[in-house]
Structure 1
Amino acid sequence: MLVLWCPDWPVTAAAAAAGVSPHVPAAVFAGNRVVTCSAVARRNGVRRGMLRREAQSRCPDVAVLASDPARDARLFEPVVAAAEELVPGVDVVRPGVVAVPVRGAAAYFGGRNSPDAAEHAFSERLAEQVSATAGVECQVGIADGLFAALLAARRGVLVPEGRDAEFLAPLPVAELDQQGESTTEFVDLLRRLGLRTLGRLAELDERTVATRFGHEGVLAHRIARGAAERPLSPRRPAQELAVEQHCDPPLERVDTAAFVARTLADRLHAGLTAQDLACTRVGIYARTEEGEERHRVWRSARPVTAHGVADRVRWQFESWLQAGSGGRPSSGVVHLRLVPEELVHGAALQLHLWHGAGAAGGTEDDPGTERASRAFTRVQALLGPEGVCTPVLTGGRGPAERVEFVSWGSSPGKPGEQAPWPGRLPAPSPTTVPARPVPAAVLDDERRPVSLTARGALTSRPHSVAVEDGVARNITGWAGPWPVDERWWDSAAEGRRARIQVVTTGDGPALLLLLREHGKPRWIVEGVYD
């Protein structure tokens, strides 16, 4: 990807808004400290993080400007518009930084040149376009990942494909501050531990980094290795896509509401198609003669068609009109509005060339899948969004945490299996997970309870375990513990726990997964292996 960077943008925007000349030293202050300063101010000794008094003692003529993120974003809009004149769908990382997918644009503007020459030609063209149109200074860099491309833009270099890690390795860990959030304490800790370059940080094992530094360390380790921290999110100009209609006479019957809904749905679908968009969540808003307002947001597992939107309006009217005395509107609907609440790009909706009943997983063209989807949606209309739920495999550390029941058509509320889960239970997973907690007592060879230390270690060697039936079974082998310290930064939600696997003798289960939570008096059986 390509990153276009406008140096010192907050101070550039603040100076432009205040009418300060670019040749005058200027700095933006927040909390009486320098947030950003111009190149002229830096030549006079002003640095980021300085107190205002120190900055003015080094440069008495420095212009003091206030921090205003809204102003920075507003004044950056012409720069984004200038970039969009050359290549659509740019991603505004933050005011002063724009990211652009480079491959297609470079092939277009670079002609039949080699890939490297095409990228060079495109980067020069984009920089000239922004400078000439928006009248601001900018630099361009190209790399595989967003972080590497940003650092390349600050140095004005084009990193060859697949060489991000090599480019990042000699750079100091202080470059991690370019992520838009203050990481001063984390960077200082890395320095004190002797990790002074991104290459030294990238050499560490990711599990070790996660254990020592948590989420912040995992993210820093990932970008130090040149891995992509997130894909681009192309910006689309804001447009009014909602459709509405005033109903005269008021809608009091389902069939008349369905007729109006069909017209509105066609208009909504036509507007989305013209923008190469599709809708996965549609909001239905209605207002009655008496001023009552009703609304419901419908979610679909796939982008809905005009027919699907009309069906949802009809089902919603049936639900409203068939409700009891407390939920039924007291008068007819005089205003109906459809709002696309969640949009996806049309390019993401391409189906395989061959699809249908034989396709793996089915598609909307599969009659069986389509009938099942419509049946689930109809039941959801009658019972509410939580009335139809499906189990979804998600990420987690314990076996019970890896399955989440979500509303039909919704997405899981936490990261998936591919996200890092430090402290996760190793494979294989238990065959059976009890629906309710099953208490267990773990004893050592002297019949003393086995618990956990403050560091998550066992207080003694397990010798026997007694489940809810009270019968003690000898432990012939055990593994663990696997300690987990979750949300340690949040005192209200933190939780320490540890898991062990034990092999028992006698009748009943032979291999158990046991869980002990900090502060709880007993172990519980979290899973049973076959």
Structure 2
Amino acid sequence: MRTAAVWCPDWPVTTARVDAGAPAEAPVAVLVGNHVLACSHAARESGVRRGQRRREAQSRCPDLLVLARNEAAEARAFEPVVAALESIAPGVEITRPGLAAIGMRGPTRYFGGETGVLHALARAVGDLPVVTRAGHRAEGGVDLLIGVADGAFAAEQAARRGVIVEPGESSAFLATLPVETLEAPALVDLLRRLGLLTLGAFAALPSRDVLARFGPDGAWAHRQAGGRDDRPVAGRRPPVEFAVTLELEPALDRVDSIAFSARGVAEQFVTDLAAHGLACTCLELQAASANGEETVRRWRHAGVLGTSDVLDRVRWQLEGWLSGPGRPTAGVVRLRLVPIEVVPTGAHQQSLWGGAGEQDERARRALARVQTLLGHGSVLTPVLDGGREPAQRSRLVPWGDEPTPVRSPQQPWPGQLPAPAPSVLLDPPRPAQLLDDSGQAVVVTDRGAVPRPPARFAVGDERPVVITSWAGPWPVDERWWSDGGARHVVRCQIVDVRGRAFLVSGTMPAGSWQVEAIYD
């Protein structure tokens, strides 16, 4: 299959640089996980390479501009390029933002050969500017290279080198390339240890032996290395526009009037998605006033959004906007519903075996009904959050909202308690007695030492009982740099003779204790 690949070199660098407003000649590196993912030509001239750590890259190029990767911005900026390619070929396969391919069979007939197709591609894409969401625009047009070969893999390698491989010559073209071209780190490492350093050496192995030794993934890489990638280009289908807009004339300032007028577009919103076998689980509601004020919010639903669910969210958002401190100075003139996440129709229906059953569906309907009657925020669900204290590790969010943690639970959180977490949190904490053998309160020094270990424990005014085991102490020195927010806390886990387990805490130097949580 003759294929043309269009490659925009260093696309992550281009979009990040334009978004940051940096000049084209600036040395730029885009980092992911403290390693260089891509770098500009100026950075490569200074010795910066892919895979280097940030410190090594900056040591080679002190003026290096380090930017974080923004995959969403890369996709948005690449969309005009894809649209331009679709004006030349009916189907465009997007490997990733910055790299796309088209089949040459149809376009060559229309443009009178491969040369005509290449000229058309260069005219369609070459003059496009790189524009980010923030409105920044790159100097000049899109920098691109075009390659033609037999198969998508060979065409990509031809595009990286800006060459046209004659029909039937893809195998010879790929033979001299290093095995790192496959971009499969595990397979490449194994091939190098076996002494297979080029694609030609790998392609010379018998197909049956490759399948037996490396599995299906290795067999596919073996076909690519030999230029036998006969898979046709999988062109994307242009997305259907499911967003609906309601224009209000004259402007309305009553929530019930706006919701009544929005019923038709809400039904259209749900019906259009259902006609394509889709249902919405998260939508974005945009509202604008006659004076240009706007409110935008995303609403997530535990199930799929029906017409009544959409109207409920219209009411909730407009009630908060029209009656809040930042209410608009004029009535609402426009509503827009935009689907953010969709699922196939039936994805949230009851399952015959396993999955969501009848009880789950009944519970969802009941919670949605309560929320409809009492308003947004009347039904809350817990979300795992990040933090050192047990009370910081959970948060309540309204039913159906995005369950996004404020603080990442995956962060190290030095001073965090070891597992398991306590099951019952006391709010507020209750006073406790933590005593040593002499009956005195247990003291923890500023250095976290316990001169006399705990021996007896009681909650409140209870009679102290013997402690069978304890763990700790775990001192936490929080915000030590702040005069008003510094906090020095120590925590211990206690198990008494009755088998009860508690989490106790004190402010260092600890002499007074309190029960924060109970282990069940």
With normalisation by structure 1, the TM-score equals 0.51
**Partners in 2 of 1:298 and 1:11 — Cα distance?**
30
> For 1:512, what is the secondary structure of its paired residue?
strand
Q: Which amino acid aligns with 1:287?
A: S
**What does residue range 71-470 of structure 1 map to in structure 2 within 5 Å?**
77=77, 81=81, 86-88=92-94, 90=96, 123-128=153-158, 155-159=180-184, 243-251=244-252, 257-269=258-270, 278=280, 280-283=282-285, 285=287, 287=289, 295=295, 297=297, 299-302=299-302, 303-313=304-314, 333=331, 335-340=333-338, 343-346=340-343, 350-351=347-348, 354=351, 359-360=356-357, 366=361, 369-380=364-375, 385-392=376-383, 398-410=389-401, 411-414=403-406, 425-426=417-418, 429-430=421-422, 432-469=424-461
Which amino acid counterpart does residue 399 of structure 2 have in structure 1? W
CA distance in 1 between counterparts of 2:22 and 2:385 reads: 51
Letter in 1 for 2:432: A
1:528: Cα distance to partner?
Answer: 3.3
Given that 1:514 and 1:527 are in contact with CA atoms closer than 8 Å, whether structure 2 keeps it comes out as: yes
Of 265-274 and 368-377, more deviation after overlay is shown by 265-274
| Structure-2 separation of matches of 1:65 and 1:395 | 33
2-structure distance, mates of 1:329, 1:39: 52
**Which residue pairs with 1:512 in the alignment?**
502
* Distance in 2 between residues matched to 1:448 and 1:352, nearest whole Å: 62
2:367 counterpart letter in structure 1: A
Change (3 A) 1:497 1:69: closer
Aligned match of 1:37 in 29, 36, 42?
Answer: 42
Following superposition, the deviation at residue 461 of structure 1 comes to 1.3
Structure 1, unaligned stretches of length 5 or more? 21-25, 56-63, 101-119, 134-152, 170-235
Q: Is the 8 A contact 1:285 1:337 kept in 2?
A: yes
> Residues of 1 paired with 2:158 and 2:381: CA distance?
52
CA distance in 2, matches of 1:494, 1:305: 49
Tell whether the 8 Å contact from 1:488 to 1:494 is kept in structure 2 after alignment: yes
- After superposition, the Cα gap between the structure-2 partners of 1:477 and 1:319, relative to the gap in structure 1 and judged at 3 Å, is closer
Per the TM alignment, residue 514 of structure 1 is displaced from its structure 2 partner at its CA by 1.3
Structure 1 counterpart of 2:468: 477
Give the Cα separation in 2 of the matches to 1:391 and 1:76: 34
Q: Take 1:250 and 1:464, find their aligned partners in 2: how far apart are those partners?
A: 71
How far did residue 315 of structure 1 move? 6.3
Task: Determine the structure 1 residue equivalent to 2:514.
Answer: 524
Q: Deviations over 1:202-234 (max 9, x none)?
A: xxxxxxxxxxxxxxxxxxxxxxxxxxxxxxxxx
Alignment check: 8 A CA contact 1:502 1:511 kept = yes
SS of 1:369's equivalent in the other structure is helix
Measure how far apart 1:446 and its partner are: 3.8
CA shift in 2, pair 1:428/1:386, >3 Å? same
Q: 1:81 to 1:272 in 2, by over 3 A?
A: farther
Query: Taking structure 1 as reference, are residues 343 and 131 closer, same or farther at Cα in structure 2, changes over 3 Å only?
Result: farther
Offset of 1:261 from its aligned partner?
0.4
When Rg is computed on C-alpha atoms for both structures, the one with the higher figure is 2
- Cα deviations across residues 413-441 of structure 1 (Å, max 9, x unaligned)? 24687876666545555454322111224
Distance 1:311 1:426, change over 3 A: closer
Paired letter, 1:475: V
Tell me which amino acid in the other structure corresponds to 2:380: C
State the shift of 1:77 in Å. Answer: 4.4
Q: The residue matched to 1:413 in structure 2 has which SS?
A: coil
Cα deviation, 1:307-354, whole Å, max 9, x if unaligned, reads 422343356678899x79x999998x45132254x7225369834672
Structure 1 residues 490 and 461, CA gap change in structure 2 (3 angstroms): same
Q: 1:454–1:157: structure 2 CA closer, same or farther, 3 Å change rule?
A: farther
- Contact kept, 8 Å, 1:456 with 1:497, in 2: the verdict is no
CA distance in structure 2 between the aligned counterparts of 1:519 and 1:433, rounded to whole angstroms: 24
CA distance in 1, matches of 2:65, 2:386: 43
User: Deviation of residue 245 (structure 1)?
Assistant: 3.4
Write the deviation string for residues 29-84 of structure 1: whole angstroms up to 9, x where unpaired. 89xxx9973555559xxx954698xx9xxxxxxxx9999999x9889945994699
Q: Contact 1:244/1:335 (CA < 8 Å) preserved in 2?
A: no
Cα distance, 1:78–1:315 mapped onto 2, change above 3 Å: closer
What do residues 469-511 of structure 1 show as CA deviations (whole Å, max 9, x unaligned)? 1x56243322210526477797587765443222345xx8854
CA distances 1:93-134 after superposition (whole Å, capped 9, x unpaired): xxx8x899xxxxxxxxxxxxxxxxxxx96544444457669x
CA contact (8 A) 1:473 1:504 kept: no
Structure 2 CA distance for partners of 1:352 and 1:254, relative to 1, 3 Å:
closer
Question: What root-mean-square deviation, in Å, do the aligned CA atoms of Structure 1 and Structure 2 show?
Answer: 6.2
**Once the 2 structures are TM-superposed, how far is the Cα of residue 523 of structure 1 from its aligned partner?**
2.0
Structure 1 residue 374: deviation in Å?
3.0
Separation in 2 of the partners of 1:514 and 1:447?
A: 17
Measure, in 1, the Cα distance between the counterparts of 2:490 and 2:15: 53
1:377 match: secondary structure: helix
| Partner Cα separation in structure 1 for residue 43 and residue 460 of structure 2 | 70
Asked if the contact 1:440/1:468 (under 8 Å) is kept, the reply is yes
Structure 2 Cα separation of the partners of residues 518 and 99 of structure 1: 61
Once residues 23 and 518 of structure 2 are traced to their aligned partners in structure 1, the CA distance between those partners, rounded to angstroms, is: 71
